[in-house]
Amino acid sequence: MISVGDKLPSIALQEGSPANKLDSAALFAGKRGILFAVPGAFTPGCDRSHLPGYVADAAKLHAKGVEIIACVSVNDAFVMGAWGAAHHADGKVRMLADPNAAFTKAVGLDVQADALGGTRSKRYAMLLDDGVVTALHVEPDGFGLTCSLSNAVLAAL
């Protein structure tokens, strides 16, 4: 599992459509950022608490020096785009798709979630400085809603 001091791996993620590929390492290069992951778009905890909190707290996080906030999930780019639109995330949270769980597996935060269709991401939030992990908040059971929520990350900044 990725840990504090590690550099974010260079893996292609998608934003908006499968054709729009972004390199995970390049996205955070030279920036202070937050990357949070959810088990699935539109799932109850993710949809009611996790994403909405980061959207609501975006200005507060930016005021603390965070330049980029991104959400990643093992979903396709169209689902992530629709989910972001439903929560008015545009300009606040980048919605990144990891359709084959390549990024999620590379950081060692994958989990088998048969109820959600197979391999998914554990719920976490990581703070990054120039692509290096400076803090990592992984939910103890992989799915809970405590240490990875925006208010917990905001308090830790």
Helix (H) or strand (E) holding 103: helix 102-106
What per-residue confidence (pLDDT) applies to 76? 96
Q: Given this model, what pLDDT does residue 22 score? A: 96
Average pLDDT, the chain: 95
CATH number, domain with residue 97:
3.40.30.10
Count up the domains in the chain and report the number.
1
* Residue 43 domain-assigned (yes or no): yes
pLDDT tens for each residue of 12-34 = 999 999 999 999 999 999 999 99
Residue 64 in any domain: the answer is yes
Phi, psi of 119 (to 5 degrees): -70, 130
Q: Mark whether 46 is an active-site residue.
A: yes
Beta bridge partners of 71: 36, 95
Q: In the prediction, which pLDDT does 107 show?
A: 98
Residues of the chain short of pLDDT 70, as ranges, are none
Rounded to whole angstroms, how far apart are CA atoms 40 and 122?
10
Note whether residue 128 is domain-resident: yes
Is 98 a member of any domain? yes
Is residue 6 included in any domain, yes or no?
no
Which domain covers residue 46, as residue numbers?
12-156
Indicate which residue of 41, 46, 107, 128 is catalytic: 46
Look at residue 5 and tell me if it is in a domain: no
